[in-house]
Amino acid sequence: MAEAPVELTISRLRDALWAASVSESEPVSGGPSARAGTLFHRTMAGLLSGIHSWRHVYTANDLGDAATLQRHAWDRLLGPMLTEQQADFAEHGREALWLWDAVKAACAWLGTLLRAAQDKGWIEYDPQSEDWRGAEKLLASEERLEREIRKPGWRAALRLTGVPDAVLRDPQSGRWCVLEFKLGDAAAAVDLCQVALYNLMLPEKSEGSVALVRFLPQRHETLFESAQLAEAQDRLLDLAARLAGLVAEPLTRNTAQYDELGKAILRTLDNFGIKATLAEAPVIGPAFLRYALLPGRAVRAKKILSLSDDIGVQLRMPPPLIQIEDGVLAVDIARTDRQIVPFHRVRQALPLASPQEGSSVVPLGVDLRNQLRSVNLADAESPHILVAGTAGSGKSEWLRMAVASLLLGNTPATLRLVLVDPKRSAFLDLADSPFLLHREALVFPPDGSILDQLDVLIEEMERRYMLFHKEAVDDLAAYRARSGDRMPRVVCVMDEFADMMHSAAERKLLEARIERLGAKARAAGIHLILATQHPDAKTITARLLANLSVRVVLKTTTFQQSMVALKQPGAEKLLGKGDLFYSTGDRMIRLQAPFLSETERKEIFKMRPQAMKQTEAGRRKS
């Protein structure tokens, strides 16, 4: 039996292209931010459809008048939105002016198209209904497109889905055209790839075109014919197939360049009077290369360990991380062609959801051998996790990836969450999730008390132990088996817990509760994942460390912070963006965290139990 088609959204593909090129959160210097782009798209969507669209503004006499539409766009759409976000734009007046200029240019552009359509006889004003006949056959805003594609070598068909900004019948050529509106000129190549795939999904592809319309704020429109996009579409479909897991994803290797870099390391050491040889070919990870060095006779390993900064300067790259690993000196050099590890790759390796037991497995990252490393919260050696890392290290992204993995492996009957989110952004999409332990289990300090939530967990822990005593069992698994009660596992994820330790008194109260849960909660099926930007001795005390056996440490600001979190230096030399150390004792294992795109995160966080069951059923078939 043929496998069911695998669905992939254009947005998810675009996220992967962004991750491989630039960060979408970093606008081009002097250009508009993502905040302005969002308001621009909301304004355009309002002008194209709904109660504030152009259809309810123009009559036959003033169709296309730019000033009329501009006043309407300000009064009904952009103006009220800017008022709502006045605080955000208070210190960004230039950006607000830029946005308004772009909206004015968009109104003039839309007016020109509408006049041309009227001249063609495609649209006609009906005074009786005060509406335009034929408008729905001219322009559709944010309409879902879908196409199923099969290619030799794929294990199943690919179902591409997406919602372009608009689909328009071009008055000049009479053909249908996909439109994407862009405010600014950042990542033009990524934008073009996005609309090229939308072009594939037109109902009449052979007659379709694609237009990329930019407002900088001056309008600039680029029209591409289908034939011009064929080569790019083939390459993009290959990438889409790898993202969807339809074909094996090859690891890109520039072996000649990597071999030359190994020789450069040896030459650099030779300049310092140190003889060494390479024990084997470099091991190629997603973010870095590992070279195994054998020191020459009478050369002390400590001497090479101390030369990290000097090697980095000589090679004109970040200082390598050098450590003793399996009897050799492991020298980790940052890859100039760094690759991401998309979450869909590890998603296929996650345990399937069990209606009775669920899953307590948390993926950590991918190692140098491209193998996924995970921990099981149900194990006595790994019931709780400490996550540390400075801004930009990927700490919050790792937390969201871990939560997403738990959601995919469970239903609300087998898993409940308590989420503490001081930044009010890490877990906002879970505000109404059925996975929350109770209605107030998503906490935004200081509005909500974390101490109260920990007290709820302690009460729940003691209640469970009383039930275990009645059933004469020791832990959650045994209780489920004997009683038939699917009592859910509870995971408390606390981001930036250091911010909640403002005073010595509050610190002691928080420590006492975490210590109590850390010591007793595992057997009751209650687990802690605590994260902080500041892994210093004041925040991560010996009492806390004693109960947080699993450490996930991303890039730290100083080696002292690495010493506190890992009892070893090294985290200060990590590369950021998901490069991490995992430790359960004295040994550190370097991993790359999977990248969970915003689109996939929203899909999983908003997914409801029935949809999850359908998703898991599809995975079981494949």
CA atoms within 13 A of residue 134's CA, in its CB half-sphere: 12
CA atoms within 13 A of residue 91's CA, in its CB half-sphere: 1
Residues of the chain with CATH 3.40.50.300: 375-561
Tokens 């109770």, located at residue: 438
pLDDT at 340: 83
**Can you say how many angstroms the Cα of residue 58 is from the centroid of all Cα atoms in its chain?**
42
Task: List the CATH code of the domain at 375-561.
Answer: 3.40.50.300
Q: Side chain identity at 58, as an amino acid letter?
A: Y
In terms of average pLDDT, the best of 32-41, 144-153, 196-205 is 144-153
Q: What share of the chain is helix, strand, coil (3-state, %, to 5)?
A: 40, 20, 40
pLDDT at 490: 97
* Omega cis (within 30) before 217: yes
Lowest mean pLDDT segment, chosen from 47-51, 87-91, 355-359, 382-386: 87-91
Q: Please enumerate in sequence order all residues whose Cβ is within 8 A of that of 233, keeping only pairs 6 or more positions apart, or say none.
A: 196, 197, 199, 200
**pLDDT grade, residue 550 (50/70/90)?**
very high
Question: Which stretches within 521-597 are classed as H helix?
Answer: 542-547, 559-566
Q: Is 385 helix (H, G, I), strand (E, B) or coil?
A: strand
Residues of the chain with CATH 3.30.980.40: 255-334
Closest CA to 80 of 114, 46, 34, 120: 46
**pLDDT grade, residue 468 (50/70/90)?**
very high
The C-alpha atoms of residue 402 and residue 492 are separated, in whole angstroms, by 12
pLDDT at 176: 75
Q: Considering only residues 52 and 246, tell me which one the structure prediction assigns the higher pLDDT.
A: 52
E strand segments, 45-144: 124-126, 131-133, 139-141
Torsion of CA 11, 14, 16, 18, to 10 degrees: -130
Q: Please enumerate in sequence order all residues whose Cβ is within 8 A of that of 540, keeping only pairs 6 or more positions apart, or say none.
A: 386, 388, 532, 564, 565
* Omega cis (within 30) before 446: yes
pLDDT tens for each residue of 92-113? 667 788 889 889 988 998 999 8
Backbone angles phi, psi at 264, to 5 degrees: -65, -35
The C-alpha atoms of residue 133 and residue 534 are separated, in whole angstroms, by 62
Closest CA to 549 of 522, 581, 583: 583
Torsion of CA 359, 360, 364, 370, to 10 degrees: -40
pLDDT at 206: 40
pLDDT tens for each residue of 333-379? 988 878 888 887 788 777 776 677 889 999 999 988 778 899 999 99
**pLDDT grade, residue 508 (50/70/90)?**
confident
Which two tokens mark 405? 């993995």
CA atoms within 13 A of residue 386's CA, in its CB half-sphere: 32
pLDDT at 466: 95
DSSP secondary structure letter of residue 436 = B
**pLDDT grade, residue 22 (50/70/90)?**
very low
pLDDT tens for each residue of 559-571? 899 998 888 889 9
**pTM, to two decimals:** 0.63
Q: Considering only residues 612 and 237, tell me which one the structure prediction assigns the higher pLDDT.
A: 237
Statement: residue 399 has pLDDT above 50 = yes
Over range 392-409, report the average pLDDT. 93
Average pLDDT, the chain: 82
- Residue 415: beta bridge partners? 489
Statement: residue 587 has pLDDT above 80 = no
Over range 273-279, report the average pLDDT. 90
Tally DSSP H helices, then E strands, for the chain.
Answer: 20, 25
Statement: residue 33 has pLDDT above 70 = no
CA atoms within 13 A of residue 245's CA, in its CB half-sphere: 16
pLDDT at 622: 42
For the chain, percent of residues with pLDDT exceeding 90: 30
**pLDDT grade, residue 152 (50/70/90)?**
confident
- Residue 570: beta bridge partners? none
Q: Please enumerate in sequence order all residues whose Cβ is within 8 A of that of 470, keeping only pairs 6 or more positions apart, or say none.
A: none
DSSP secondary structure letter of residue 130 = T
Over range 574-593, report the average pLDDT. 87
Q: Is 277 helix (H, G, I), strand (E, B) or coil?
A: strand
pLDDT at 500: 72
**In this structure, which topology does domain 1-23+142-250 adopt according to CATH?**
Lambda Exonuclease; Chain A (3.90.320)
Distances (CA, A) of 199 to 161, 187, 346: 12, 19, 30
Q: Side chain identity at 509, as an amino acid letter?
A: L
For the chain, percent of residues with pLDDT exceeding 70: 82
**pLDDT grade, residue 529 (50/70/90)?**
very high
pLDDT at 207: 52
Residues of the chain with CATH 3.90.320.10: 1-23+142-250
Statement: residue 29 has pLDDT above 50 = no
Over range 127-153, report the average pLDDT. 84
Q: Please enumerate in sequence order all residues whose Cβ is within 8 A of that of 430, keeping only pairs 6 or more positions apart, or say none.
A: 403, 417, 419, 436, 442, 605
In terms of average pLDDT, the best of 138-142, 207-211, 480-484, 495-499 is 480-484
Domain 255-334 of CATH type 3.50.50.60: no
